[in-house]
Amino acid sequence: MGDGKALDIAAVVLPIVGGGLIGLASAMMLLLHGRITGISGIIYGVLIGPREGWRVMFLLGLLAGGAMMFQWRPSNFAMASSGGVVVVAGLLVGLGTRIGSGCTSGHGVCGVGRLSPRSMVATLVFTAVGMVVASLSQEFGGGA
């Protein structure tokens, strides 16, 4: 099917292009401000401190970009779970990213991009644990 093939190409190209934009935005923060773009750290700063203006503006920019994308491609925004598991997962993500000093952006994109061994280890650990948990929850929970 021609449609099926076009879909497959989009499934690979859009992640690369979208990833490139994420890398470009992170590079902007680095070249202009000398900062690593770690979303969990930026949110934590606004929540607990230091509550600097650039953090607030970055988070507002995220919402603006998200709103534009949601208008254009609402199907790209989807949740797979609801209820108690969402609360547990949110707590774990909030706590874990602070204990481990970073998430998919700070350790994953920027840290791996800097070839930081510390970030590469963190990225391997959260990806491996994420894969085990997601695979097991599908196996035993019948999928969320």
Ranges within 23-82 binding other proteins (CB under 8 A): 23-37, 39-40, 43-44, 47-49, 53-55, 57-70, 72-82
The CA distance from 98 to 69, in Å, is 28
Q: 6 or 69: whose CB is closer to other proteins?
A: 69
CB of residue 53 to other proteins, shortest distance in Å: 5
Regarding 6 and contact with other proteins (CB under 8 A), the answer is no
Q: Which of residues 106-125 bind other proteins (CB under 8 A)?
A: 107-110, 112-118, 121-123, 125
Regarding 7 and contact with other proteins (CB under 8 A), the answer is no
C-alpha dihedral (115, 11, 83, 139), degrees to nearest 10:
-90
Regarding 1 and contact with other proteins (CB under 8 A), the answer is no
Give 75's DSSP letter: G
Single out the residue of 5, 12, 140, 142 in contact with other proteins (rule: CB under 8 A): 12
Q: 6 or 57: whose CB is closer to other proteins?
A: 57
Regarding 85 and contact with other proteins (CB under 8 A), the answer is yes
Nearest to 130 by CA among 82, 79, 96, 83: 96
Residues 6+ apart with CB under 8 A from 91: none
The CA distance from 77 to 70, in Å, is 7
Which amino acid appears at position 45 of this protein? G
